[in-house]
Amino acid sequence: MKKDLLKSYINSRPCEILGLGVSNLPLAELICDMGVPLTVRDKKPLSELGDRAVALEKRGVRFITGADAFDTVGGGLIFRSPGIRPDRGGLPKAISAGAELTSEMELFLSLTNAETFAITGSDGKTTSTTLTGEFLTAEAERRQGGRVFIGGNIGEPLLHKVDGMGEADRAVMELSSFQLMRVKKAPMYSAITNVSPNHLDWHTGMDEYVKAKLNIVGGNTRRFVTNRDCDVTARIARELSERSERPDLFLFSSTARSFEEIFDFPCRSSDRAIYLCGDNIVISDGMSEEILLDTKKINVPGKHNVENFMTAIALTYSSVDASVYTKVAESFFGVRHRLELIRTLDGVDYFNSSIDSSPSRTAAALSALHGRDIVIICGGYDKHIPYEPLADSLCRSARAVVLTGATGKKIEAALLGCEGYKEGAPEYVYTPDFHDAVRLARSKARQGGCVLLSPASASFDAFPNFAVRGDTFRDIVNSFEEN
């Protein structure tokens, strides 16, 4: 990073970092390198923060740890981790006293010279982000110019790389609602894949959740991409269309078949619709259509993955040659923990979709495998979201449901209350133990069918994150011996 630029931004203000974490550790080292007074606050003791944290303390960084670490915040410039609410602990008092609250991601967006592409949403943002990065990387290789950096909620922190980024480079980010809570400078190319109830254990309600997502659009945004089939994002697009100063709207739909179906409200000549014409993804300005990708080239199953491709295509259209879309589609077989085929054993396919931490994600996974004999494993940490919408998908697509974790009983109650539920159809069973759940799922699976881990819940009741949960599932499945 250009230390003079960062130093000018800090302007000799004492800094505090709330929550060290993956993204804030490089930031702490940068600030320490400049000799700026720095306090790091974290609920974990220093001994659990790793060797790099210990090295920072030896260099003079002050550490305040423990359950009350955030109660007495007082720095002039405060960087918060995404999971820390800006209205908790000592933050409101510090802000009212003149402190500036920001984050590693906000600072990156303010300082980078690269073109910025960012994706948020309740479902599909990781795959859409990955595809956006793949498209831009393939284009950079094709024209032998520029580099692509991928980070944010996936990949690695980007702030410490900003010094080497130029105007010919692209930065692609997945952004969560936590990261977007107070973002002031929005990305140049932004997308909201969809919005459904999620993280309501952290947000005060749906209004705050949606408002946080909408921070991905700002005065700096040239293009906004979103899903015309989602009621919330369709409303956002309609409201944006009424502004005199707004980005170009690129709206996609996997159900509409024309420009007019998507733009049933006033639009501009620079707006575009992306939809299906037969098997092809096409883009239209209302006058003509351009074929961009044959969906038969897409290797990952499900309508939701077609929508993920549409998101990434809409973001990168005119930034890449159209041939890139086919090249990437033919070589892309998905992201780990997202309908990932682990193995086929005794004629049964085992799919790891541990990333599915909401009912809508699990419904999409079931839809992708609809028609198969499905035994599904659901349940995990309770984010206080409703499970009634999931019950209908379980009744339609699953033969057997194995419930586990903190939300297992909530999903059971929703299933029993569903109009589509008939006695024993789908069959269901509950066990509090994850390992037992996987073994039970195997015992209920039939040759030619599949076992799907799609929890519809977060992992924190039993695992540190969804990846560990998925890896545990993989290890259990790979330990099974053939019958």
CATH of the domain at 446: 3.90.190.20
Please write the tens of the pLDDT for every residue from 65-77: 999 999 989 878 9
* 249 Cβ contact list (under 8 Å, min separation 6): 223, 224, 226, 237, 240, 241, 267, 268, 271, 272
Q: Please give the residue range of the domain that contains residue 409.
A: 340-478
Task: Please say if the pLDDT value at position 377 is more than 70.
Answer: yes
Q: Specify whether 286 is located in the same domain as 144.
A: yes
- The per-residue pLDDT for 3 is 56
Does the residue 158 lie in any domain? yes
Q: What average pLDDT does the structure give for the chain?
A: 93
Does the residue 1 lie in any domain? no
- Reference 456, options 397, 404, 380; nearest CA is 380
Q: Specify whether 160 is located in the same domain as 306.
A: yes
Could you say which of 277, 305, 331 is where a domain stops? 331
Task: Please say if the pLDDT value at position 213 is more than 90.
Answer: yes
- The per-residue pLDDT for 450 is 97
Please write the tens of the pLDDT for every residue from 113-157: 999 999 999 889 999 999 999 999 999 998 888 999 999 888 778
Token pair 């709207």: residue: 249
- The per-residue pLDDT for 302 is 87
Does the residue 236 lie in any domain? yes
In angstroms, what CA-CA distances link 110 with 3, 34, 187, 425, 467?
14, 19, 10, 54, 31
- The per-residue pLDDT for 1 is 42
- The per-residue pLDDT for 5 is 65
Does the residue 2 lie in any domain? no
Q: Specify whether 200 is located in the same domain as 147.
A: yes
Does the residue 174 lie in any domain? yes
What residue type is 142 in one-letter code?
R
- Reference 252, options 322, 335, 317; nearest CA is 317
Q: Specify whether 291 is located in the same domain as 423.
A: no
Does the residue 3 lie in any domain? no
User: Mean pLDDT across the stretch 448-471?
Assistant: 95
Could you say which of 102, 123, 140 is where a domain stops? 102
Give exposure, 436-475, as e/b (b: 16+ Cβ within 10 Å). Answer: ebbebbbebbeeebbbbbbbbbbbbbbbeebeebbbbbbe
Q: Specify whether 310 is located in the same domain as 166.
A: yes
- The per-residue pLDDT for 12 is 79
- With contact defined as beta carbons under 8 Å apart, do 253 and 263 qualify? no
Q: Specify whether 162 is located in the same domain as 306.
A: yes
Tell how far CA 178 is from the center of its chain: 11
β-sheet with 223-227: strand ranges across: 148-152, 170-174, 115-120, 189-192, 223-227, 248-252, 272-277, 280-284, 289-294
Tokens of 23: 């993204």
Q: Specify whether 144 is located in the same domain as 181.
A: yes
3-state SS of the chain is CCHHHHHHHHCCCCEEEECCHHHHHHHHHHHHHCCCCEEEEECCCHHHCCHHHHHHHHCCCEEEECCCCCCCCCCCEEEECCCCCCCCCCHHHHHHCCCEEECHHHHHHHHCCCEEEEEECCCCHHHHHHHHHHHHHHHHHHHCCCCEEEEECCCECCHHHHHHCCCCCEEEEECCHHHHCCCCCCCCEEEECCCCCCCCCCCCCHHHHHHHHHCCCCCCCCEEEEECCCHHHHHHHHHHHCCCCCCEEEEECCCCCCHHHHCCCCCCCCCEEEEEECCEEEEECCCCEEEEEEHHHCCCCCHHHHHHHHHHHHHHECCECCHHHHHHHHHCCCCCCCCEEEEEECCEEEEECCCCCCHHHHHHHHHHCCCCCEEEEECCECCCCCCHHHHHHHHHHEEEEEECCCCHHHHHHHHHCCCCCECCECEEEECCCHHHHHHHHHHHCCCCCEEEECCCCECCCCCCCHHHHHHHHHHHHHHCCCC
Task: Please say if the pLDDT value at position 4 is more than 70.
Answer: no
Tell how far CA 254 is from the center of its chain: 20
Could you say which of 48, 71, 102 is where a domain stops? 102
- The per-residue pLDDT for 323 is 96
Lowest-confidence region among 82-86, 124-128, 165-169, 277-281:
82-86
Q: Specify whether 64 is located in the same domain as 179.
A: no
What CATH number is associated with residue 280? 3.40.1190.10
Does the residue 226 lie in any domain? yes
Q: Specify whether 33 is located in the same domain as 79.
A: yes
Q: Specify whether 299 is located in the same domain as 361.
A: no
Please write the tens of the pLDDT for every residue from 428-456: 999 999 999 999 999 999 999 999 999 99
- Please state whether beta strands 289-294 and 280-284 pair in parallel, antiparallel, or not at all (unpaired): antiparallel
- With contact defined as beta carbons under 8 Å apart, do 41 and 73 qualify? yes
- Reference 80, options 66, 95, 61; nearest CA is 95
What CATH number is associated with residue 59? 3.40.50.720
Number of domains the chain contains: 3
Does the residue 187 lie in any domain? yes
User: Mean pLDDT across the stretch 315-321?
Assistant: 97
Q: Specify whether 344 is located in the same domain as 469.
A: yes
Tell how far CA 476 is from the center of its chain: 26
Q: Specify whether 299 is located in the same domain as 362.
A: no
User: Mean pLDDT across the stretch 261-276?
Assistant: 97
Cα(469)–Cα(244) distance, integer angstroms: 47
